[in-house]
Structure 1
Amino acid sequence: MLMLLLCASAPVRGRLPAWFAIAPLPALAAAVGAGQGETLTLGHSRFALRFALDTPGALLLGTAALLWLFAGIYAARYVRGREDADGFVVCWFMTLTGSVGVFLVADLIGFYLMLAVLSVGASGLVLQGDGPEARYAGALYLGVALLAEAFVLGGLVLLAQATPGGSLLIRDAAAALPGSPWRDATLLLLLVGLGMKAGMVPLHFWMPHAYRAAPVPAAAVMSGAVVKASVIALVRFLPFTSHAAWPQFGIPFAALGMFGAFYGVAIGITQLEPKVVLAYSSVSQMGFLMAVIGMGLAAGDPATVVAAAYYAAHHLLVKGTLFLAVGVVALTGAGSLRLVQVPTAVIALGLGGLPLTGGALAKYAAKDLLSGDLASWLAAASSAATTLLMLHFVRCLGAMATTHYNARAPGPFRGAWLAMVVASLAVPWVLYLRIPVGWLPQALAPAALWSALWPVLVGAVLALGWSRWGKTVPSVPVGDIGGLLRGMQRGGARAARIAVCTDAFVRGWSVSCLTLLLAALLFGGLLAMAV
């Protein structure tokens, strides 16, 4: 936030890209070393902002800080020599401030403030792309974000009304939610608003446009860290306790999320641009994560909180790594392509649950929440579908390599990507050993390894078949059902032009005088009748 304030000075702003990688270090230090349960208060009385750290917050804050650190190295090299770098710098620090803030904030007002800062900054990052597509994507992102935040704001107001003693702390509001007279309305508003922020179908269409238009480092942090604001909000605002099971909300939410998990794959495999494929992969993965949260809400299972946060932390690392890989491959020739493609393929298959990767641990952590016969089979099918989509992504990624055989991406690009590869492989194991999410010997048992492996094998077979016969399937336009907005946009533009012309005509001097004269005569006639 201090660096964001320093952006007001033009000479200082020009030097701030060198600090992109330093800005997230305090957040990383807090996630690793700060005591949980303690509250930091800034301000006084009811205008104070309160910050605290719990297990899900530490998980997401630490992994997000790692992504912001290495993506910052990439971004600093990306903006070097750009004449229009000022906007990127301001939006980068604004988005970083909101991203760190939502994981730390402990009160309702602070959460909404940080969410707003995050949305405005992220829409600005999308606008840093090139051409009219970036302007459309930025406007679409901001419009959906504001609509989602309107639902969230309504839910927060009802939460505050139901919290005893006038407390605005999130933990007090969540504890008071089961007994709230507006419980169902509050829950519905929060699920709708935060589901939209997570990119749930059918209001997911902003995601492919935004990730496609945004510069590579911006797309990396948006797909990894920014979208996780909805996850931390859901696990903090909803009371996952055995006496507060809500299947009437959890089951439909889980069903919609699982539908999105398959829908994202179905549309993603028709795309050829790697960034768009990754965007639909995020639609799929966030849908699966929402299904996990929905099932936990339906069962009132307290284990949902840590399991969902761990799954989200793994997805954060992997998706950031894959977007950075897109930027590296675009500047890499065939001579060095395999050095990038092979690690990227391993990381990508981790999303499908490839054994001995963080993805396998994440899916095993969520296994008990999807323990029913139908839910477990849908989870396995989702893993196979994700494997199919990720292998399709790797194939599309290889096709975008530069034509210069010996070309290599700049050192900061390759270094940032390679560091994220290491983090994606190592950090999930470290976290699994340190947090109460599962027992490692059980996750490494032969039965667990086989249950993770066979969906990946099925997905690989499907990918082989798709590479041969999928070329006959037409490509779905980017944004799929969001294309309907284009027609509405044209109609709205025509209506706006008519309104502007009408307003200009009415504001004319002669028309205004005549209108006032008629109003005066009408008013005088009414008075006469009254007398």
Structure 2
Amino acid sequence: MTATLLLATTLALPLGLLAALALPALRPRVPGLLALAPLPALGVALAATPLGLDPLLDAASAMLLGAVAFLWIAAGACAPMILRGAADAPRLAGWWLLTLAGNLGVFVAADLASFYLVYAMVSLSAYGLVVHDGTPRARAAGFAYLALGMLGEALLLMGFVLAAAAVPDGSLAIRDAVAALPGSPWRDATLIFLLAGFGLKIGLVPLHVWIPLAHSAAPLPVSVVLSGAVVKAGVIGLLRFLPFDAAMADLGANLGMAFAIIGLVTAYYGVLVGITQSNPKTVLAYSTLSQMGLVAAVVGMGLAAGDAGAVTAASLYAVHHVLAKGALFLAVGLAAARRAWLVLGLTAIVGLGLAGLPLTGGMIAKSIIKVPLGDGVIATLAGLSSIGTTLLILHFIGRLAAKAPGDAPMPLALRSAWIAAALAALAVPWALAPGDAVAKALTAEAMWQAAWPILIGAALALALHRFGHRLPAVPEGDVAAGGPALSRLMQQGSDAIAWLEAHLRTWPVAGLSLLALALALALVLSLALGAAMTFQFSPI
């Protein structure tokens, strides 16, 4: 299968449904078909298998593509909850499909130009999902997301240009660019741009504020894909563009170590701020920060040591996060329904899997990342972070239980999607893990090593329940919301965006124009990238 055919197969149905929105006869039917759009991508991932049987789809990309496609299917099945009867349903469906196409495309794009195109699609078009509710809160979150997204795009553009300039034969293939990077005269500058651009996408401190703002303001199905799937565009970027096969000395190794430290700071920061939040969705958003911080720590240590095994470890950990975080967000929509205690019980097990609860999928995922983390201070701090994860997840369960129970039945689509995601989070990582890792994780010693941080975290959760009211109130978005000048700037920006939306909201002409504008912007950026790559660079 050629690279073009692989990309076309993955994106054909999402883009086909997007085109169908332009036809008045088909437009009302498209919102009900969103769950079908990721099916070809799931088929591609299953056909490639985690062993990477397709030479253009490596193991990490295949695993993450399959998990992300699965989550988009689950979220798409729940999307009619917010679309049914809504006059703007086709508009949201358009943003949904455009974001989906970009999100799936990053796992199969084989060259720099096509990767940048689909990455821009997922980064910029998700704005339309964030601001769907049209409230001032949603617009402010959308402005933060869009501003930081554009910053990330600019950083990656510079990184891609420098990476391509180092390839001797001018190839734009990602593999060729990565192979040439260790010997590039612009190696360190390239690494800085790549780490900063992709690090922003996964929410590393201090450029993390878009995650708690966007996740908490967006409708539930959108929060599911933002936290579980969209942030993985940054993860796969790190795994595909960094040279893990060659240990780098001097600044290159120091950059990897610095990235690992920033990741750990993010992991603990997410817990410390998360336990001050009362909105369950916001708590989960800070949990995403914490978990992506651990991924960054694995990536950084693997980069510093030239450990290619970090790619497999980080991808498996990210797969578990896709599934577990999807299940946790879906549980938010079921907490107030009839027999909510069943939801809380299974949700607690899935959530504690993020801390490595024995026999859950998270246990095997956390045991595998221990290898690239090594035996030093970084590894110790990463291991102790399970205490904080336990504390944060139990705080989330407490906030979920505090929602008033109701007598409404559980919506079938939401219930089915939640059960599927929860079971997948518990089982899939075991199926993907190497056999020797599974055997090692099932020993009594491994079980105890996984259990004791959770016991300590549970004790801290009891203390939080008793004394949590003494904690300072931290607003959603923390540093962004805490700065008056920045808050005013974000409000002005959100007002400007609201004015723009008011003039572009009429469907179909304005809606199609807005979608075309997003596509055109991504295309122009990718063409500019290709043009810039033709210049002859010299060391500065």
User: Do the structures match in fold with TM over 0.5?
Assistant: yes
Q: Is the 8 A contact 2:203 2:211 kept in 1?
A: yes
| Paired residue secondary structure (1:53) | coil
| Cα distance change, pair 306–218 in 1 and its aligned pair in 2 (3 A) | same
Q: Is the 8 A contact 2:480 2:486 kept in 1?
A: no
Cα deviation for residue 236 of structure 1 reads 0.9
The aligned runs of 1:309-348 (5 Å cut-off) are 309-330=315-336, 332-333=337-338, 336-348=339-351
| Paired residue secondary structure (1:20) | helix
C-alpha separation in 1, matches of 2:483 and 2:200: 16
Match of 1:390 in 2: 393
| Paired residue secondary structure (2:35) | coil
Q: Is the 8 A contact 2:202 2:232 kept in 1?
A: yes
Match of 1:427 in 2: 428
Match of 1:451 in 2: 449
| Cα distance change, pair 263–158 in 1 and its aligned pair in 2 (3 A) | same
C-alpha separation in 1, matches of 2:487 and 2:469: 32
Match of 1:410 in 2: 411
The aligned runs of 1:61-80 (5 Å cut-off) are 61-80=65-84
| Paired residue secondary structure (2:87) | coil
Cα deviation for residue 294 of structure 1 reads 0.5
Gaps in structure 1 of 5+ consecutive residues: 40-51, 498-531
C-alpha separation in 2, matches of 1:492 and 1:320: 29
* Identity across the alignment (%): 50
Match of 1:274 in 2: 280
What do the CA deviations read for 1:314-352 (whole angstroms, capped 9, x no partner)? 00111111111111224x14xx11011100000000001
| Paired residue secondary structure (1:475) | coil
The aligned runs of 1:294-373 (5 Å cut-off) are 294-330=300-336, 332-333=337-338, 336-373=339-376
User: Is the counterpart of residue 55 in structure 1 residue 56 in structure 2?
Assistant: no
What do the CA deviations read for 1:80-105 (whole angstroms, capped 9, x no partner)? 11222122100110111011100111
| Cα distance change, pair 393–173 in 1 and its aligned pair in 2 (3 A) | same
User: Is the counterpart of residue 248 in structure 1 residue 254 in structure 2?
Assistant: yes
C-alpha separation in 1, matches of 2:121 and 2:408: 39
Q: 2:40 aligns with which of 19, 26, 49?
A: 26
The aligned runs of 1:501-516 (5 Å cut-off) are none
What do the CA deviations read for 1:446-467 (whole angstroms, capped 9, x no partner)? 1111111111111001101111
Match of 1:123 in 2: 127
C-alpha separation in 1, matches of 2:453 and 2:383: 6
C-alpha separation in 1, matches of 2:435 and 2:198: 24
| Paired residue secondary structure (2:476) | coil
The aligned runs of 1:254-265 (5 Å cut-off) are 254-265=260-271
| Paired residue secondary structure (1:301) | coil
| Cα distance change, pair 491–379 in 1 and its aligned pair in 2 (3 A) | closer
| Cα distance change, pair 474–156 in 1 and its aligned pair in 2 (3 A) | same
Cα deviation for residue 492 of structure 1 reads 8.7
Larger of the two Rg values belongs to structure: 1
User: Is the counterpart of residue 133 in structure 1 residue 137 in structure 2?
Assistant: yes
C-alpha separation in 2, matches of 1:484 and 1:228: 28
Q: Partner amino acid for 1:14?
A: P
Cα deviation for residue 12 of structure 1 reads 1.4
Match of 1:47 in 2: none
C-alpha separation in 1, matches of 2:477 and 2:390: 22
Cα deviation for residue 491 of structure 1 reads 6.0
Q: Is the 8 A contact 1:220 1:323 kept in 2?
A: yes
- TM normalised by structure 2 equals 0.85
Q: Partner amino acid for 2:442?
A: L
Report the number of matched residues: 477
Q: Which has the higher contact order (CA 8 A, sep 6+)?
A: 2
C-alpha separation in 2, matches of 1:276 and 1:166: 45
Q: Partner amino acid for 2:370?
A: K
Q: Partner amino acid for 1:10?
A: P
What do the CA deviations read for 1:364-388 (whole angstroms, capped 9, x no partner)? 0101122223223212210010000
Q: Partner amino acid for 1:361?
A: I
User: Is the counterpart of residue 113 in structure 1 residue 117 in structure 2?
Assistant: yes
Q: 2:474 aligns with which of 473, 476, 489?
A: 476
C-alpha separation in 1, matches of 2:225 and 2:374: 32
| Paired residue secondary structure (2:410) | coil
Q: 1:194 aligns with which of 192, 198, 221?
A: 198
What do the CA deviations read for 1:127-174 (whole angstroms, capped 9, x no partner)? 113511111111210110110110011000001111121100000000
| Cα distance change, pair 299–13 in 1 and its aligned pair in 2 (3 A) | same
| Paired residue secondary structure (2:208) | coil
C-alpha separation in 2, matches of 1:369 and 1:449: 20
| Cα distance change, pair 249–208 in 1 and its aligned pair in 2 (3 A) | same
Q: Is the 8 A contact 1:365 1:438 kept in 2?
A: no
C-alpha separation in 2, matches of 1:37 and 1:191: 29
| Cα distance change, pair 437–369 in 1 and its aligned pair in 2 (3 A) | farther
| Cα distance change, pair 494–412 in 1 and its aligned pair in 2 (3 A) | closer
C-alpha separation in 2, matches of 1:93 and 1:107: 22
Q: Is the 8 A contact 1:365 1:437 kept in 2?
A: no
Q: Is the 8 A contact 2:31 2:90 kept in 1?
A: no
User: Is the counterpart of residue 12 in structure 1 residue 13 in structure 2?
Assistant: no
Q: Partner amino acid for 2:223?
A: A
Q: Is the 8 A contact 2:261 2:378 kept in 1?
A: no
Q: Is the 8 A contact 1:318 1:351 kept in 2?
A: yes
C-alpha separation in 2, matches of 1:118 and 1:10: 26
| Cα distance change, pair 494–171 in 1 and its aligned pair in 2 (3 A) | closer
Match of 1:161 in 2: 165
